[in-house]
Each structure stands twice: as C-alpha cells, then as structure tokens.
Amino acid sequence: MPRLWPNTRPLPYETPLSNAGRNAALNHQTNGVSAFCTDLGLSFSGLHDGEDQAIAKLAALLGVEHAAFDLGTIGRQGHSFYLRGQRLLQSSLRRRRLHVCPACISRDITVSDLPPLASAYCRSHWLLDAIRVCPEHRLELVALELRSDVSEYDFSARLAPYLEADVLPRKHFDAPLRFQSYLFERLEKPPSTGNFLDELEFHVAARLCEILGVTMMFGKKQTLETLSNSDWLAAGELGFSYASEPNGYRSALTELQRNFDLVATSKDGVAAVFGHLHRWLSIGRPDPSFKPVRDLTRVHIVQSMPIGAGEVLFGEAVTVRKIHSVRSASVELQAQPQRLRRLLRAHGCLAPADDGKPDALTLFDAQRHAGFLCDIREAIHRPRVGRYIGASGQMVSCLIREGLIKPFVRASAEHQLQQNLFLPRDLDGFLERLFEHAILSKKATEEPLVDVMTAAHRANTPLWKVLEWILSGRLKPRRGPGPLKVTALLINLPELRTLARSEYDLITRVDVCKTLKVSKDDARRLVKAGLLKIEWENDRSNRRHKHLVCKSDLERFYRKYCSLNEVAQYANVSCAHAEYILTSNGLRPAIPRDRGLHPFYFRSVLGSGPIALAHARKDSEWNDVEFLDAHFLNATQIARIAPFFPKRYQRADWRAVSGIVHIMRQGLRWSYANEYGGIGLYSRFVTGSRRGVFDRVFHALAQEDLGPDRILVSIEHLNAQPTAAKLVEAGFFPLLSREALRQT
C-alpha cells in the first residue's frame, strides 16, 4: 500500500482520530478530518470507534505498526468501550466535549517543527469524564467551544482558534489530588491495593467517588448541571477519601444518615437520605458492573434503616427486615406510636437517648425483638383478662397479686404505662394447669360441688390459696360443662374445708379475744401494732373481711405475755386494783397503755405456771404472793450472798440481784432487764461492781460446797457482756481475775 507523504506519526497516548486530523492539516486539507478520511479511503466512524481494520489501514499509510495506537485507542465493543484494558461506558466519556491542557498544547507546538495545527494532539485520557486535571502539569483541563462550522470530532479544527494567541486559561492545583492520581495509576497498570474501589470497574469507581462527594458536600437538592469543574474535583477528592479506606464507603453512608437526621421528616425515605447517590444507583443502570455497589449499599440500608420485607431496593426485593422504626412498627402492628414507644422503652428495645427523636428516626433491631412485637400484637388488657378466663375483676386482681398469672408488660409510672398487658398463651397455660387434675362432672348442681369463689368464701380460705392447692395437685376439682374457663371449675366443699383445717390452724379475732381475755378493739390494736401477725385474710366477696391469725403465733404470744384482765380474773379483783398492786410492787407492764393498748405483763415475771394471785383478796395479803420463776435465786443462794448487801433488802431487791446474775451468766443485754424490774438493774450492777460487791457475789456463788445450787459466773462470762467487760478491764473484779489466772 502506498504511504502518505508528508505525514506525522502517532505520539504517546494520541487518539487515531487526532492523528488523522494532524495529517489532514499537514497535507493542507481544509475541509477537515472527515474529508481527509474520505479521500484516503479511511473509515471516519471506524477511527472514532477504534476499529482494528480502520486503525490498521491508517498505520499502513503512516508506515507504523498497529501497536503504536494502542495507548490512545478507545475501542468500542457493543455498548462498552475499552481504554488500556479498562472497561468504560458511553456515559463515562466526553467524545463531543473536548478538554485540553494548555501547557501540553503549548509544549507540543514548541518542541515540534511542524505547523501548530499539525503539532498539537489530543490525549486519550482527556476524553474521560472523570479526568479533570493534567497529570503532568497539574493544570485544570479547559473545555473547547463547540463550533457549528467544524466537525465536533475534529480536534485540530476545534483547537485552531486558540492557537493564534495563548488564550486558554490556566488554573494550577498545588494541593495533592489523590483521586486524580488514583485514576491515572489505574490507566497505567492494574490496581494492586485491594481496597473496595479496586474491585470495581474503572468507570464505576470514578463516578462513585464523584457522586458520593457531591451528595456529602452539596446535599440532595443540588443540581448537578450547575456544578463547576472545581466543584467536581473537590467532590471527587472527598468521595475518594471515604471510599478508598476499609469500610470507608459504609462510613460515608452512615455520615449521610447522621447529617440527614437533623432535618428529616416522617415521610422521608431512602431517596431523601442518599439523594443523588440513590438516583445514580437506581435509574437507568442495568449494567452489571454497578452490582457490587448496589449490593453493598442495599446491605447497609437494610441493616440501618426500616426497610420491610418485599420492598424493592435497586431493582431487588428485600427478603428480611433487619431494622424497625417506631413509625414502621406502629404501622405494621396498627398500634398508637406513643403507646408503642413506651412499651418498647419498658422492654429495653430503645435507649434513653432515643426519647427525643422522631418516630421515623427511632430505630431498633427488628429480628432481635420480633417476638416482642408479635406478643404486643396479641396482648390483651386487664379488663379483657376476666372475660378471657371467665373470672371476675376481683378474682383477676387476686391472681395477679399472688403471681398466679403474670403480666407480659407490667404497669409502670416510670414508663407511663397505666395498665398491665397479658398474653393469651400465658392465660391458656394457666387454665390448662388449673384443669390438669380436674375430674369431669356431669352434675354441676350437685350439693357438695360449688364454684371456686363460693367454695373459698364458705371455707373461709383465700381464693388464691384454693387455686394454689389446685395447681399443686393437693385439691382435685371437678370440671363442669362449658368452655375451659374458671367458671367451669367446681370444688368439693367438705374436701376443701378438711384441707384448710389440716393446712392452717386459724382462729378469728373473736377467738383471740377469748384467749387473751381482751376486747375486740384491743385485739385489733394488737394486730395493728404488729404484735399479732395476720397470716392472711379471706376475700371480700360480701364487702367485709375477717382477720385470721395463726394459732401457733397466738400461743407464742400467750406464753410470753399476760393481760391485766387475766391477772384480775385469777386474783378475783378489779383491773384497777390489780394494776395498783402490780405497780406498788415495782412491776411495770411490758406493753404499756401509752401505745393505746391494753396493759400486758411478762408472764415470766408473774410465774411460769398458773398465776398465783388467786389468794390475793386484800392489799395486806399481796406481799405473800409467791412469784414462780426459774431464774430467781433460792433461799440457799440468797443466804450465801446476803452478807454483801444491806439488811433492808426486800423481795424486789433480790429479784433485781437475780436478774443481774442471770444476765451476766447468759451474756444478755440490758433490754432483758424488763423482766426483772426495769432499767434499775444497770445502775445497781455498775454501782455494786465499783464497790466490789458483785465480785464477791459471783465468787461466793461459784463455791463448790453449794452443790446443786452452785452458779458459775467467771471472767469469760463477764467478757461476753459489754458493760461487765469494761468493768473487768478497769479491774473491778480482782477475785474472779485471780481465780482465772490460777486455773490457767
């Protein structure tokens, strides 16, 4: 094939069409590159689309190898384009919008001996929409004006008006442009860093960084056509700073969500949050190269936003909901949002920091709390519980109070929940357990069989106790006709009464009055003061209730205390006269009148057997009454220690000495002194110890010649009593101390 002469060979990164245009200018073809190709039999569209046959023919005319055009050829295959091994789409190219570097054009003209139109050439990377800066001179690429008198693809013809004078503006960038450098490196060699962008095709990675940066910098309402080249550069750098880092793309999505939360409304969705990024991934992007970005974005959105199953996101339906908002959950459950928020807060689904957020932005894990949401859908309020299980409101209150049925969500003033919620399956389980041991009865009107409410009332037994016995199997009920409800539960009344008597030996307040010989008001005051404990009370089915006291508690109280009425009855005197006699002998009531109670005395002070006041008829006879007490010193013991005390000591004084000996022997506190004459024991003991009296008393009582009447009070006993221990430390018990040293 004859060669073209003169000609200019392809320069580095030059496009085939640019080379044809320079050869047309060199051969004085004034009609442009299209006419030049027609004259030489070259396919203009073939050179434009990078067809091998057209480029091979041009290379043959120039006398060069086909490979000389490899770096500058943008080849087309169907809807795809390829440059230096990188796949591109038509939307990522600017074939008609030519951009040039002013410094490169000036250098081409300067270093070449050819005419200017034959010297300046078009680099292939200038045709990429994402390349906005010259990699060599760091100058912003300048757009050439589109003229109507020349072909839009004729580079030399469009550049001609700018060659007469250096009129192309120059804008230099001093700051590092990491995004532009990354794009040039990907054109030169395959990526090797292994980040998220390297896994994407060139055009997807480039556009992703720019769209992501625009969305983060300018928001969702910014019109892309009004952005300048500098704005796109800044946006690309911002998007690249996120997308090039590990998990950086998801961090950018999170940042978009965080910034959007400040101005969000309840009607905004995914498109409003991600703006241009969402539209770029959703509209007109059937190419599979976008799938990795779509998949990662979809995963992030599903895991961080309330997207329900079945919703279409980027052309694919969501299969599983991961996140719920209060608003989406209220719509799904058909529940009131404020009440649902309180329930979620009480269950721990929401954090305290979510209290002030709108319902659409208050999120929680849908999968983790799916069971709770289902329970909310099925839960019923307390008024419906009675109708569900066939019980009255009073019975329901009793069952809740005793824990036989437990609320699914409890009423709470902290979370502003006014009513309990119950699950039907819990109520069904309660009824099944209640009728587990029931015997089917066809005669519901049989005399011994009554309903559970009536049975509890007639047996004077709390309703919850009857149900507890049924659940434990101790009481076997009968099942009447009708559905499985509490109203169908029949109880054998004699059987219930027998069980109640065997379980509890209870007495009423009337029996308490008879035993203690006090009035009903006094018995009520004893209960109110906590001296007699109410074991439980029956239901108020007839608008009244009885206090039931365990007999063992009453017997324990009776063994310890004796009422003034009982003393007076045994002594056959009036209460006033009996109280006067007891007070005259230094005996004070253990439960005084100042508490609004009937006077009670320690029975141990008055005697452990029958009260020996039956012989007291006159005041003169009172001093002869014998007080039987196990801890009172007998005549032998008193005779042994009598020399250490004044001869005027009477019975009350010896009672006080007996109390001191017992307290020291047992290591008791002085509160026990009430049974021996009151608080005067402490003063007697301290004063007598300082005078050495009780040192001699304890030493005398410990002598072995007393035989069975011997009472041993050693230093060890005294150290166990706080007051005596201090006196021992002060040295007021020398006899006992020497005895202890001698034994050791």
Dump pLDDT digits (tens) for 509-554.
Answer: 777 888 888 888 888 888 878 788 776 554 444 444 556 777 778 8
Residue 202's nearest CA partner among 316, 41, 371, 81 is 81
Dihedral angle of Cα 267, 270, 274, 278, to the nearest 10 degrees: -130
Please tell me the predicted confidence (pLDDT) of residue 671.
67
Please tell me the predicted confidence (pLDDT) of residue 391.
84
Is residue 152 pLDDT above 50, yes or no? yes
227: amino acid identity, one letter: L
Please tell me the predicted confidence (pLDDT) of residue 232.
92
Please tell me the predicted confidence (pLDDT) of residue 674.
57
CB 66 within 8 A of CB 58: no
Contacts with 374 (C-beta within 8 Å, 6 or more apart), sequence order? none
Q: How confident is the model at residue 349 (pLDDT cuts 50, 70, 90)?
A: confident
Please tell me the predicted confidence (pLDDT) of residue 505.
67
Question: What is the biggest distance separating any 2 CA atoms in the chain, rounded to whole angstroms?
Answer: 163
Percent of the chain with pLDDT over 70: 89
For 591, list phi and psi in degrees, rounded to 5.
Answer: -120, 95
Report the alpha-carbon distance of residue 337 to residue 376 in Å, rounded: 13
449-451 sheet: strands from edge to edge: 439-440, 478-479, 489-492, 449-451
Which residue bears the tokens 């004063």?
687
- Give Cα 118 distance to the centre of its chain: 75
Q: How many Cβ atoms are within 10 Å of 167's Cβ, its own excluded?
A: 10
Q: How confident is the model at residue 239 (pLDDT cuts 50, 70, 90)?
A: very high
572-622, pLDDT tens digit by residue?
666 777 787 788 777 888 888 766 678 888 887 775 333 344 333 333 333
CB 529 within 8 A of CB 601: no
Report the alpha-carbon distance of residue 527 to residue 525 in Å, rounded: 5
CB 604 within 8 A of CB 675: yes
Please tell me the predicted confidence (pLDDT) of residue 690.
92
Q: How confident is the model at residue 447 (pLDDT cuts 50, 70, 90)?
A: low
Considering the entire predicted model, what is its pTM?
Answer: 0.62
Residue 694's nearest CA partner among 723, 651, 673 is 723
CB 512 within 8 A of CB 502: no
H or E segment and range at residue 600: strand 600-602
178-227, pLDDT tens digit by residue?
999 999 988 888 776 667 888 899 999 999 999 999 999 988 778 888 89
Please tell me the predicted confidence (pLDDT) of residue 121.
92
51-65, 159-173, 500-514, 689-703: the lowest-pLDDT one: 500-514
Q: How confident is the model at residue 257 (pLDDT cuts 50, 70, 90)?
A: confident
33-47, 437-451, 629-643: the lowest-pLDDT one: 437-451
Mean pLDDT, the chain, whole residue set: 82
Pairing between strand 600-602 and 534-537? unpaired
Q: How confident is the model at residue 442 (pLDDT cuts 50, 70, 90)?
A: low
653: left (phi over 0), alpha (psi -120 to 50) or beta: alpha
Please tell me the predicted confidence (pLDDT) of residue 208.
93
For 601, list phi and psi in degrees, rounded to 5.
Answer: -115, 155
614: amino acid identity, one letter: A
Please tell me the predicted confidence (pLDDT) of residue 193.
62
Pairing between strand 439-440 and 99-100? unpaired
93-97, 113-117, 627-631: the lowest-pLDDT one: 627-631
Q: How confident is the model at residue 263 (pLDDT cuts 50, 70, 90)?
A: low
User: What's the first-to-final CA gap in the chain, in angstroms?
Assistant: 135
Percent of the chain with pLDDT over 90: 19
Please tell me the predicted confidence (pLDDT) of residue 594.
66
